[in-house]
Structure 1
Amino acid sequence: MPYPNDPVSAPAAPAASRGGRPRDERREREILAVVGSLLAESGYDGVSFEEVARRAGASKATLYRRWKTRREMVIAALKAGPARREGPDEIDTGSLRGDLLALCRRLDRSMRSGDNHTALLLLQAGLEDPDLCEEIERAVGPTGARLPAAVIEAAVRRGELPEGADPFPYEEVAGSVLLLRRLNGLRADTPYLEALIDSVLIPALRATTGSRRTTMPAGIFSGHPATQPTSVLEEAP
């Protein structure tokens, strides 16, 4: 079930005066580490201002001065942890193959930089909370779970993909197989990623325009996929 939407804004906190204390970056890192621990233990639904404040030994007013909503606080924790990057956010290697390899490597690094539960949060956000997934991609930059429109557009200009190529094959397959390998302790080294890209991802991306479908279905890690009731799943052959 999708998570309830966070409130647009938190209860108003007293405005800090210009002469107030400077922001304590070390203290912020400690608080975000607590948020990361809660994500690992209970997922997105287990994070609340009350619990973070209790575990961090901070007041809720302190948290609200930094982040207006739970979503903002979670994204800050992801940027400081699993989604942290030193290089540029943009993916532009000059070729579709290179871009896909960079995206897969970025996604694999993000998953392996944290524990299994945080990796699941990053990948399942598209299914459990599409709005959170979109916000993560916007605020953190491409995570590798999605295929950016800019990558497709560049590949079309270079003649590597036909006009109208759909990201569905990448977004349905790449995250799924990398997550499966992550959870089973299997490596996703360069030879594996290159084989995945050459034999599965690029041919599938090229085939989307030749499909009889006019619109591809929503993938697990993109769009707003509809879930089936448990009873329907149990009755399926």
Structure 2
Amino acid sequence: MAELLAEVGYDGVTFELVARRAGASKPTLYRRWRTKRDMVVAAVRAMPATGGGRTIDTGSLRGDLLELLGVLAETLTTSDTALVATLLHAGLADPELCDYLETATGPTGARLPAAVLERAVERGEVPDDAHTFGYDEVAGAALITRALNGLPYDETYRAQLVDAVLLPALRTSSPSIQHAGIFSGGNH
């Protein structure tokens, strides 16, 4: 399925095409998965480096951010970068797909789980009105851009990203942005 997604994109994947490729019947696929989204998520879940249902809780926001970026880096390192880009592109047309992937596979590192932010608020590491915008808009974009350009996104780079960009962004509250309609759903 990963190869098929990379070849034809999310929009091009159909039950008929998957059945043909797998040598199965469409009714067999429909018995297993109700929707294309379910089928794609099952394929992503079967990939080696998904969040795996793990809970991110190191005891500090910095540690949690490093852990999340580590999950994303692992996914980028072990997955076909074109497939990751395909899924991100599909998320533009189907934002619920991204939500569904996060829920079904566990933290991918592309988004800041609400629970991580809530614990940081409880520990006093960020203001009460903090939101995930700073992480969600920057973390994945930075690592994916570096991966696509063949640049390193190792532990040193990720620590600099956390310290210089992500922590300051999360500590800076901007409720006016949130209320201006910039957010489109997810963990915001």
Superposed pair shares fold, TM > 0.5 = yes
Report if aligned partners of 1:112, 1:119 keep a CA contact under 8 Å in 2.
no
Where 1:58 maps in the other structure, the secondary structure is coil
More helix by share: 2
- Runs of 4 or more, structure 1, over 6 Å off, are none
Report if aligned partners of 1:41, 1:117 keep a CA contact under 8 Å in 2.
no
Q: What corresponds to 2:134 in structure 1?
A: 169
- Unpaired segments ≥5 residues, structure 2: none
Q: What corresponds to 1:23 in structure 2?
A: none
Please say if 1:75 is aligned against 2:67: no
Hey, what's the Cα distance between the residues in 2 that align with 1:178 and 1:148?
Answer: 18
Please say if 1:151 is aligned against 2:116: yes
* Higher RCO (C-alpha 8 Å, min separation 6): 2
Report if aligned partners of 1:168, 1:218 keep a CA contact under 8 Å in 2.
no
- Unpaired segments ≥5 residues, structure 1: 1-34, 225-237
Give 1:64 shift: 1.5
* Higher radius of gyration, 1 or 2: 1
Report if aligned partners of 1:93, 1:99 keep a CA contact under 8 Å in 2.
yes
**Higher mean C-alpha displacement, 63-72 vs 172-181:** 63-72
Q: What corresponds to 2:9 in structure 1?
A: 43
Tell me the C-alpha RMSD between the 2 structures. 2.0
Q: Deviations over 1:101-149 (max 9, x none)?
A: 0111111211222212211134344422111111111111111111111
Q: What corresponds to 2:85 in structure 1?
A: 120
| 1:218 to 1:117, Cα distance in 2 relative to 1, 3 A | farther
Hey, what's the Cα distance between the residues in 2 that align with 1:68 and 1:85?
Answer: 23
| 1:176 to 1:217, Cα distance in 2 relative to 1, 3 A | farther
| 1:162 to 1:85, Cα distance in 2 relative to 1, 3 A | closer
Where 1:208 maps in the other structure, the secondary structure is coil
Q: What corresponds to 1:199 in structure 2?
A: 164
Q: What corresponds to 2:179 in structure 1?
A: 215
**Higher mean C-alpha displacement, 37-46 vs 148-157:** 37-46
Q: What corresponds to 1:190 in structure 2?
A: 155
The aligned amino acid for 1:56 is A
The percentage of counterpart residues that share the same residue type is: 55
